[in-house]
Amino acid sequence: MAQLTYREAIARGIAQEMQRDQSVVMIGEDIGAAGGVFKGTVGLFDEFGPLRVRDTPISEQAILGAAMGAAMTGLRPIAEIMFADFFAVCWDIVANEIAKSRYMTNGQVSFPLVIRSGNGGGLRFGAQHSQSVENWAMMVPGLKVVVPSNAVDVIGLMAASVRDNDPVIFLEEKALYASKMDVPDGEIVDELGKASVLRQGADATMVALGNMVPRSMAAAEKLAEEGIDCTVVDLRSLVPLDVTTVLREVGSTGHLFTVEENPRLLGWGAELASIVAEEAFYDLDGPIVRITTPHIPLPAADALEDMAIPSVGRIVESVSKAMNA
Amino acid sequence: MVTSATAPAVFDLEARLDLYRVQLTLRKFEARAYDLFLENLVKGTSHLSLGQEAIAAGVAAAMRPDDWTFATYRGHAHTLARGVPMTPVMAELLGRTNGLMAGKGGSMHLTSVEHGVMGSYAIIGAHLPIACGAAWSAQYRGTDQVAVCFFGDGSVNIGAFHEALNFAAIWKLPVVFICENNLWMEYTRTSEVTAVANPAADRASAYGLESIIVDGNDAEAVYAVASAAIERARAGEGPSMIEATTYRHGGHSRADPGKYRPDSEVAEWLAKDPIPRYRAFLLEVGATEEQLVAIEEDVTAAVERAVDEAKAGDVPGEEYLMKDLWADGGSSWRN
């Protein structure tokens, strides 16, 4: 058992897979000797060398195109797009090429690749380096979307993503890079499409993702002091989506709150709300409430950014208001 | 400019007759595909290689079976030239279950992995980086496979082209880029919107590559430059880019009669049609009229057979709709 940060867990998760499988290779900007701009790949260049941990020019289309071509010819690449906002400059490769080609070819090719990216706000980087883009990825048929909320999940879900034979968008929450937890020694392998129930309560169910998970847990503690006992579900992956766990946990409390960092419109909670409304309508004892970042680009100033992204205070207030309505 | 006059005499008559057969197959297949559009049996759109067959045929002849091709939406010819049978290609155009992809890809996305045809890509320029990825894979795994990537002159002004060339050059990837310069993008003459005269060749030096232009209506000349580039790539000496000058006899796609092109220009290029030209050359180098007629009859019959077999294929049922999004064969996104 060792205490690891979320960022250290990334390198450990990748190393675990690279030690096991020679076909796992890494590609991205500054991931080699520099260890990544967020220091998520520290040590991998030294351990696996320049042929397996390859630095690239600032060419996001080339990075992801290369990952795709390599994946269809026998490798299992892990590509890095430094900031998730940068997906906008290479989205053709993601959404038109990688996501569609297996279906279009009637299954002739598969794309066992992982695209890691630093996602979300909290670091005061302004609108072009802070957006939570999980909803961009979720709405493209053919992509799996994984967002870990803690170090152990980073390792286990990284292993599951690398071993998966489909393309996985692996979003690392920038605001969580410094968060720490105890991590067991030895191999950790998880499963995609399994939500975790982190807290069981009788009154309301909060479903959260990534950086919103620890905030929802903190909010649940405060709400308990007010006498509102919350379940907290960490979705962990958007595709595959663990609808079963959500329906079960909503069914047991009768209330659903989604806690989302993505901008409001068509955030993942909208899909979840639609599913619950369709399939568990009669289990609900009140309206479904979505707690999201407003539909704006993220501002840079810390005061403004803190107002935009759902905070513990805002989560508590929203849940409390709805439960006492 | 490399021409047939400078091409090495690597072909014996038998190989030349094969090259004629391949070009003729591409020609007759495309002509027949066009008929089927007019009959409304082929839906959607399609982009024919009529007039450009010598490039696909010449390059394919220079490739090893385990090499890879990455083609564009104008990719029937490149797919067939690698040895993919006509029936599944025609059936794909018709949207039948005996199509290469059971009708799920269509004309613009022909793929046959077992023949090294790693896809036809319909977003301009996107496949240049993808071809780099296959080349990277070969380099990393220590095979000596080569990726060959075809694209049109219109692709040279999109970002992915430049990202891919730089990337291939710095990693010395075994990839050969082949620009089929047919002078026109869709309705616009490429030279009117391109800063250099030779759209691909004039950009080569920016990536440390040799500037190579070949007569794309001369299959043997194409074969010669492609062979050299492929062998260079195979030997670990890095990428090459070839600009092959040619002309499409028809419009850009099905709905385009190509009327924006001056009649005199079309006439000039029809006179340089690679297929009659190669036929005349074959007679000069010892082929007999009887041999050529036999090939022509053979090819015509083979195309008709493929059309009949394609038409006999089933229309895909619902069982095809929801399958093969994921590697497990399904398309489920939830439990």
In the structure, how many helices (H) and strands (E) does chain A have? 12, 14
B256 — pLDDT class (breaks 50, 70, 90): confident
Q: Given CA atoms A130, A131, A137, A138 in this order, what sign does their dihedral have?
A: positive
What mean pLDDT do residues A90-98 have? 98
B252 — pLDDT class (breaks 50, 70, 90): confident
Residues of A in contact with B332 (CB under 8 A): 240
How many CB atoms neighbour CB A21 within 10 A? 13
Q: Show Cβ contacts of residue B290 under 8 Å, excluding neighbours closer than 6 positions.
A: none
What mean pLDDT do residues B309-319 have? 97
pLDDT value at B186 more than 60: yes
Amino acid B3: pLDDT: 43
β-pairing, A180-183 vs A2-5, is: antiparallel
3-state SS, A69-135, equals HHHCCCCEEEEEEEEHHHHHHCHHHHHHHHHHHHHHCCCCCCCCCEEEEEECCCCCCCHHHCCCCHH
Please identify among residues 22-81 of chain B the ones whose CB lies closer than 8 Å to any CB of chain A: 68, 70
Q: Show Cβ contacts of residue B56 under 8 Å, excluding neighbours closer than 6 positions.
A: B26, B49, B77, B78, B80, B81, B150
Amino acid B199: pLDDT: 97
- Segment among A20-24, A90-94, B251-255 with least mean pLDDT: B251-255
How many CB atoms neighbour CB B332 within 10 A? 13
Residue A18, min C-alpha distance to chain B (Å): 14
Amino acid at A202: A
**Does residue B332 belong to the interface with chain A, where contact is any CB pair within 8 Å?**
yes
B5 — pLDDT class (breaks 50, 70, 90): very low
Interface ipTM above 0.85: yes
Nearest to B335 among A103, A108, A242 (CB): A242
Residue of B nearest to A106 (CA): B101
State the average pLDDT for chain B. Answer: 95
Residues of A in contact with B331 (CB under 8 A): 103, 141
State the average pLDDT for chain A. Answer: 98
Domains of chain A: 2-183 (3.40.50.970), 196-323 (3.40.50.920)
Nearest to B140 among A57, A75, A107 (CB): A75
B45 — pLDDT class (breaks 50, 70, 90): confident
**Sole residue written with tokens 């929801």:** B322
Smallest Cα–Cα separation from B133: which of A49, B66, B141? B141
pLDDT value at A325 more than 90: no
Q: CA-CA distance, A236 to B151, in Å (whole number)?
A: 41
Residues of A in contact with B323 (CB under 8 A): 107
What mean pLDDT do residues A225-249 have? 98
Positions of E strands within chain B:
68-72, 117-121, 147-152, 175-181, 212-215, 240-245
B1 — pLDDT class (breaks 50, 70, 90): very low
B309 and B315 Cβ atoms separated by less than 8 Å: no
Please give the class, per CATH, of domain B4-321. Answer: alpha beta
Q: Show Cβ contacts of residue B263 under 8 Å, excluding neighbours closer than 6 positions.
A: none
Q: CA-CA distance, B322 to B330, in Å (whole number)?
A: 7
Across the interface, do B327 and A70 touch by the CB < 8 Å criterion?
no
What is the tens place of the pLDDT at every residue in A269-321? 999 999 999 999 999 999 999 999 999 999 999 999 999 999 999 999 999 99
What is the tens place of the pLDDT at every residue in B122-148? 999 999 999 999 999 999 999 999 999
B71 — pLDDT class (breaks 50, 70, 90): very high
Amino acid B9: pLDDT: 52
What mean pLDDT do residues A33-60 have? 96
Amino acid A186: pLDDT: 97
Q: Given CA atoms A163, A164, A167, A173 in this order, what sign does their dihedral have?
A: negative
Across the interface, do B136 and A72 touch by the CB < 8 Å criterion?
no
Please identify among residues 160-199 of chain B the ones whose CB lies closer than 8 Å to any CB of chain A: 160, 163-164, 166-167, 170-171
What is the tens place of the pLDDT at every residue in A184-222? 999 999 999 999 999 999 999 999 999 999 999 999 999
**Does residue B158 belong to the interface with chain A, where contact is any CB pair within 8 Å?**
no
Residue A50, min C-alpha distance to chain B (Å): 11
User: Residues of B59-98 as b/e, b for ≥16 C-beta within 10 angstroms?
Assistant: bbbbbeeebbbbbbbbbbbbbbbbebebbbbbbbbbbbbb
Name the residue ranges covered by the structural domains of chain B: 4-321
